[in-house]
Amino acid sequence: MGIILWQRGVGLLRNSRMFLLMLLLPLLFTFAFSNMGTASKISIPLHDEEGSPLSQKAVSYLNRSSSYQFVPVSLEKLKVEVAEGRAEAGIIIPKGFSEGMASGKVEIQMVKSKDSTIIPSLQGMIQLSLIKMHTEQTGVKAILHSLTQLGLDVNRPQVTPRVEELLAERWKETLPVATAGKTAEGSKAFRYDPKLQSSLGFMLFFVIYSIIFSLSEMLNDRRQGIWDRLLISPLRKGEIYLGNFLYSFMVGYGQLLILLGASRLLFGVDWGEGWGPILFLLAIYTVTIAAFGMLLSGFVKNTQQLNAVVPIFAVSFAMLGGAFWPLEVVTSPWLITVAKGIPLYYPMSAIKEILLHQQGWNVVWLPTVVLLLMAALFMGIGVRLFERKGGEYR
């Protein structure tokens, strides 16, 4: 079995263009589709007259907005951009901002040439951001005062940033208002992350090509008579099948691991901290697709036929399994039923549950059982068909 893995690995190194292409295409499609339809932020010029650490922190709070991007500029440039209509409005943080923040009476100046629809939204966003900043700063002062009363040294430079960080995390965890949404038909609203959807979907889609095409070497061996020579070698038949199967698994799983890291580095896709359930489910998915590749290899006679049928099944799996778009938007019950018979559906839905709804191993076991049953069925039928087709070449 080891000699088969070695031979396949050397062949992959000599002809690695297909593997590299299957790495590049998911990244290109993720970049294109994850940014499609996302609205860009409205640019708002901002001039900081005070220039203090507190006013700079206020700018960072304002830039947490998902709708506006505050760009620091000079006062003259701010007035020119607003006057010439290149900006809807301009924001000035005046001198005395720190004193106003301490007293709870902050004034932010807005420069505008005319009223527009974004002005009320912009004013409300600025107000809410500064209220949150004032609340957090007040909390930090109270905590530092309490620590001082306990006799602790709070003058060290790392104390205040750490308190601010912990308070911000606590603020996120204990927000006083929670919302739950439903559509007009009464179905539960779903969370959607375009980067996660695109990255995970195209990753699971393109790995189908890599896994199944790696098994096409068995068809070449059968056509060239190498398969018959392997059968009369000291290798047992099970070792020959297992070697080819392990090779396709290593190619597919290696591609998935590379794409996981690349999507996180290039696009900032958050795969969470608990990698165990995700990596385990991707391994089971790889096994299932390799078994399905064995099934297709048993049906076809040569690599040309395999190359023709693989795109049909891969695209169908991606469309029906939720790789190209979230299945939550599909309203047809029979399409959802069909999706549950497709291997790609299970890692796609389970991994999104893990990442978007903070689930764990509890959502992994059912997909694992279903995928392993599929793999056993595909592999059993595929080997029998491959054996039968092999007799036609003798």
Give me the residue spans of the domains in the chain: 2-7+15-35+192-391, 42-173
pLDDT of amino acid 187: 43
Picking from 117-121, 180-184, 215-219, which range would have the lowest pLDDT averaged per residue?
180-184
pLDDT of amino acid 6: 62
Q: What is the pTM of this model?
A: 0.62
CATH code of domain 42-173: 3.40.190.10
d(CA 198, CA 93): 40
**68-72 and 42-48 beta bridge pairing:** parallel
Please determine, for residue 300, whether its predicted confidence score (pLDDT) is greater than 80: yes
Please determine, for residue 209, whether its predicted confidence score (pLDDT) is greater than 80: yes
* CB 83, CB 113: distance < 8 Å: yes
d(CA 325, CA 336): 13
Backbone torsions φ then ψ of 192, nearest 5 degrees:
-135, 125
d(CA 360, CA 98): 45
Mean pLDDT (whole number) for 305-316: 90
* CB 34, CB 194: distance < 8 Å: yes
- The count of C-alpha atoms lying within 13 angstroms of the C-alpha of 220, restricted to the half-sphere facing its C-beta, is 9
Picking from 55-69, 178-192, 311-325, which range would have the lowest pLDDT averaged per residue?
178-192
Measuring CA to CA, which residue among 283, 218, 254 is closest to residue 4? Answer: 218
Task: State the residue for tokens 């389970």.
Answer: 350
Write out the DSSP string of 209-247: HHHHHHTHHHHHHHHHTHHHHHHTSSS-HHHHHHHHHHH
Mean pLDDT (whole number) for 182-199: 63
Positive or negative, the CA dihedral 190, 369, 257, 21 is negative
d(CA 16, CA 298): 25
Mean pLDDT (whole number) for 1-14: 63
Please determine, for residue 136, whether its predicted confidence score (pLDDT) is greater than 80: no
> What's at 64, amino acid-wise?
R
How many other C-beta atoms lie within 10 A of the C-beta of residue 151?
6
145 is written with which tokens?
Answer: 């005062």
What share of the chain in percent tops pLDDT 70? 76
362 is written with which tokens?
Answer: 């509890």
Measuring CA to CA, which residue among 168, 144, 162, 148 is closest to residue 64? Answer: 168
Mean pLDDT (whole number) for 13-42: 72
Mean pLDDT (whole number) for 268-281: 84
pLDDT digits (tens, 9 = 90+) for 212-229: 888 887 777 677 666 666
Please determine, for residue 281, whether its predicted confidence score (pLDDT) is greater than 70: yes
From residue 127, alpha-carbon distances to 107, 134, 144, 318 in Å are: 10, 11, 26, 45
Picking from 39-43, 47-51, 163-167, 224-228, which range would have the lowest pLDDT averaged per residue?
163-167
- Angle at Cα 247 formed by Cα 246 and Cα 252, nearest 5°? 95
pLDDT of amino acid 60: 85
